[in-house]
Amino acid sequence: MYKYDSYDQQMVDTRVEEFRDQVERRIAGKLTEDQFKPLRLMNGLYLQLHAYMLRVAIPYGTLNGKQMRMLAHIARKYDRDYAHFTTRQNIQYNWIKLAETPDLLADLASVEMHAIQTSGNCIRNISSDQYAGAAADEVTDPRPYAELLRQWSSFHPEFSFLPRKFKFAVIASDEDRAAMRLHDIGIQIVRNGDGEIGARFYAGGGMGRTPMIAPLIRDFVPIGELVSYAEAILRVYNRYGRRDNKYKARIKILVHEMGAEEFIKEVEAEFTHLQGQNIDAPAAELERIIAHFEDPAFETGLSDEIDRSDPDFAIWLDQNVHAHKRPGYAIATISLKPVGGIPGDASSAQMDLMADLTEQYSFDECRVTHSQNIVLPHVRKADLYSLWQKLDEAGLASPNLDLISDIIACPGLDYCSLANARSIPVAQKIAKRFADIDRQKELGELKLKISGCINACGHHHAGHIGILGVDRKGTENYQLLLGGSGAEDVSLAKITGPGFTEDGIVDAIETVTDVYVAAREDGERFVDTYRRLGMDPFKEALYG
């Protein structure tokens, strides 16, 4: 994985000093909250219902053991012994004291981590495929390109006051595990007919209150011009994106209002101009970065045999383990979705354990996924059983990857000042209702996603089943949506009809899954049956 050189280290260290200075000025009353707000937001510090919330960047979701252990340390020292992994492969702490944040950031910097641009109207942390470098279906590892973009976008002088926040995702396979087309810019690294690497650009996707799927903007940008093409898009957006209404300020609205064709014309003109401006690093720089992502020292001649005699292990193996590109290895997902737990939360002790397992079993690398789980990307098949035993002891072996209880949920009204309704208790009730693992497996792949308000942090638009918390005459109410997807079959979910109470929504989910089970044809997932039949039979069952 990427390792900082003295330049990268100096950049994060400088940021820590700068923020220390800003916090001191704030505490001394030299900065008003209004003046301080945009500065703290550039450092991922939000003021929430009960306390400051700090979001720490995990670039393209990749961590080593030492970094994971630091995340545990921070939870223990500065927070209440736990933290929350987010849908953008970051981590959030909920109970942070302002005066302690400079020390916290200095601790992070000591392991090459930071909270730079994790909030604010700037280019945010860049997300990627959690199976990068391990999946059999990728053209190449997408992360070096994400790293190149990370450096370019850090402290970008022109794009630090955009109309609105700006999110990139970079993938390099046809299977989309990063909801790429639901980002402001989605990039798929591809190979053209001549075998050259390049970038396919999508722009103008997003969730929030007006969800949109990003249209294709350019099929192939030569890899040496990746950054200048991104710069061209950002400049068009910075100049023309709406600033009169923050709900219409995302790039998706600009692309939509301008029309993709006109938008592309503007971008191409800007790109032509920028090609003469020496924006892109030389090939040697990309090669330098790529060298950091070379394969670890995989052993050869390993067996693919796995002893399945322990039935509980076999269930986990079938559900949470994915094929690796190398014989004898596998990709294992640690579920942060135990029944009754809080989706994406991990305790300090669990993070410490995951750090140990990362070092012991996975060449010192782990990943955060956009569905709020942790991946060990390079585990020897022969080690899977002992890995599972250790996870099981720590309550980290829920065999529910991609099943109905593998729920994505935002913090909701329990923490978030923008929320209309609680998300966490609803997720917990649903997971309890469907706790029986045989029943979950019987329902098959089912992506359930919950947001506590229209901002859609919980990706409800992209759920096979989505739940949206709304405020109805002062009481919490939940709308049900069906048919979304954030994968390569990307689609936006549709609302079924009138909303439900907290218990009503759990019943409603059971109703729609019953319709599916009764109507499905061979091999159909929930979302396939929905797409074949449409909304009517589900509506009929829900509202009669």
Partner 1 sequence: MDNILRFRDDGASEEPAVTLDSFFDQSNATAVRLEDGEDARQLIPYLDRLAMIEIGFSAFGDGRGYSAARILREHGYTGELRAQGDVLVDQLAFMRRCGFDSFAPEKPINAADAKKALARWEEVYQNAADGRKPIWSKRHE
Contact residues for ligand SF4, defined by CB under 6 A: 410-412, 416, 418-419, 451-453, 455-458
Q: Which is nearer to partner 1, 66 or 288 (CB)?
A: 288
Interaction between residue 418 and ligand HEM (CB under 6 A): yes
Interaction between residue 202 and ligand HEM (CB under 6 A): no
* Contact partner, 124, from ligand HEM, ligand SF4, partner 1, none, Cβ < 5-8 Å per class: none
Q: Which is nearer to partner 1, 160 or 360 (CB)?
A: 160
Interaction between residue 92 and ligand HEM (CB under 6 A): yes
Q: CA 514, CA 535: separation in Å to the nearest integer?
A: 14
CB of 49 to partner 1, least distance (A): 24
Q: Which is nearer to ligand SF4, 91 or 274 (CB)?
A: 91
> Looking at beta carbons, which residue is closest to ligand HEM?
208
CA distances from 303 to 306, 317, 320, 381 (A): 8, 16, 20, 8
DSSP state letter for 454: T
Q: CA 344, CA 1: separation in Å to the nearest integer?
A: 24
Size of the residue set binding ligand HEM (CB under 6 A): 21
Q: CA 532, CA 521: separation in Å to the nearest integer?
A: 10
* Contact partner, 453, from ligand SF4, partner 1, ligand HEM, none, Cβ < 5-8 Å per class: ligand SF4
Residue carrying structure tokens 């109309």: 163
Closest Cα to residue 219, out of 285, 264, 258? 264
Neighbouring C-beta atoms of residue 27, cutoff 10 Å:
12
Q: Which is nearer to ligand SF4, 418 or 495 (CB)?
A: 418
State phi, psi for 247 to the nearest 5 degrees. Answer: -80, -10
Tokens read off for 312: 């509980």
Q: CA 324, CA 313: separation in Å to the nearest integer?
A: 19
Q: Which of residues 159-178 bind ligand HEM (CB under 6 A)?
A: 164, 167
Interaction between residue 160 and partner 1 (CB under 8 A): yes
Interaction between residue 91 and ligand HEM (CB under 6 A): no
CA distances from 525 to 55, 252, 283 (A): 35, 30, 44
Q: CA 79, CA 204: separation in Å to the nearest integer?
A: 36
CB of 93 to ligand HEM, least distance (A): 11
Interaction between residue 7 and partner 1 (CB under 8 A): yes
Among 24, 174, 257, 285, binds partner 1 (CB under 8 A): 285
By DSSP bridging, strand 374-380 and strand 366-368 are antiparallel
Q: Which is nearer to ligand HEM, 444 or 469 (CB)?
A: 469
CB of 35 to ligand SF4, least distance (A): 24
Neighbouring C-beta atoms of residue 166, cutoff 10 Å:
25
Q: CA 462, CA 448: separation in Å to the nearest integer?
A: 9
CB of 423 to ligand HEM, least distance (A): 10
Q: CA 15, CA 27: separation in Å to the nearest integer?
A: 18
Among 97, 191, 239, 432, binds partner 1 (CB under 8 A): 239
Q: How far apart are the first and last CA of the chain?
A: 55
**Cβ contact 139:173 at 8 Å:** yes
CB of 368 to partner 1, least distance (A): 24
Among 199, 457, 465, 509, binds ligand HEM (CB under 6 A): 457
Please give the residue ranges that form the binding site for ligand HEM (CB under 6 A). Answer: 46, 48, 53, 86-88, 92, 164, 167, 206-208, 250, 410-411, 415-416, 418, 455-457
